[in-house]
């Protein structure tokens, strides 16, 4: 399956992740339970500056376009969703809470999934 998904298919999956996150955020903002996270991922607080988030997102975009780093497209589109939240709401809308784990959202999941797949490929756990 991994071999079948080329670079452009990973871009499409990233866009689907972005859209799923936007739809979920729209629903919870209309009446669900959520928090506005002014920190980074999973509640880590580095201040309110979005500059570092934009730099990370742009780095992921550049890195994903060079070579065979197609999995990072997932991380790029997840980061894009969270950057958009920062611009619109002053923080990221987190709406998933599981036990004592910090609040998160679909975009965070997509970011982590992309990074995990990339690391698995780099260490040889996924085929080329």
Q: What is the dihedral of CA 116, 117, 121, 124, to 10 degrees?
A: 60
Percent of the chain whose predicted confidence (pLDDT) is above 90: 45
Domain spans in the chain, listed from the N-terminal domain onward: 7-122
Average pLDDT over residues 94-122: 93
Whether 4 shows a pLDDT value over 60: the answer reads no
Residue 121 reports pLDDT greater than 60: yes
* Annotated catalytic residue within 21, 51, 85, 108: 108
Strand intervals (E) in the chain: 35-37, 92-94
State how far the Cα of 95 lies from the Cα of 34, in Å rounded to an integer. Answer: 4
Mean pLDDT across the stretch 12-18? 96
**What's the CA gap between 59 and 37, in Å, rounded?**
22
Question: Could you read off the pLDDT of 64-106 as tens digits, one per residue?
Answer: 676 677 888 898 899 889 989 988 998 899 999 999 988 999 9
> Both tokens of residue 78?
């997840």
Residue 54, pLDDT above cutoff 80: no
- Quick check: 46 pLDDT over 70? no
pLDDT band at 128 (very low <50, low <70, confident <90, very high): low
Q: Are 79 and 107 in contact (CB under 8 A)?
A: yes
Task: Specify whether 94 is catalytic.
Answer: yes
Q: Which of 1-15, 56-70, 90-104 has the highest mean pLDDT?
A: 90-104
Question: Of 21, 51, 85, 94, which residue is the catalytic one?
Answer: 94
Rounded-to-10 torsion of CA 50, 56, 60, 62:
90
**Residue 108 appears among annotated catalytic residues:** yes
Find the angle CA(58)-CA(125)-CA(18) to the nearest 5 degrees.
35
């Amino acid at each position: 399956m991994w071999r079948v998904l080329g670079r452009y298919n990973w871009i499409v999956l990233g866009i689907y992740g972005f859209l799923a996150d936007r739809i979920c955020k729209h629903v919870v903002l209309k009446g669900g339970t959520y928090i506005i996270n002014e920190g980074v991922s999973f509640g880590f607080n580095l201040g309110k500056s979005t500059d570092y988030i934009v730099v990370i997102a742009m780095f992921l975009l550049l890195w994903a376009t060079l070579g065979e780093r197609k999995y990072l497209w997932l991380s790029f589109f997840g980061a894009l969703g969270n950057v958009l939240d920062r611009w619109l709401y002053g923080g990221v809308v987190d709406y998933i809470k599981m036990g004592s784990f910090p609040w998160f959202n679909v975009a965070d999941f997509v970011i982590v999934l992309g990074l995990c797949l990339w690391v698995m490929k780099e260490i040889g756990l996924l085929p080329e």
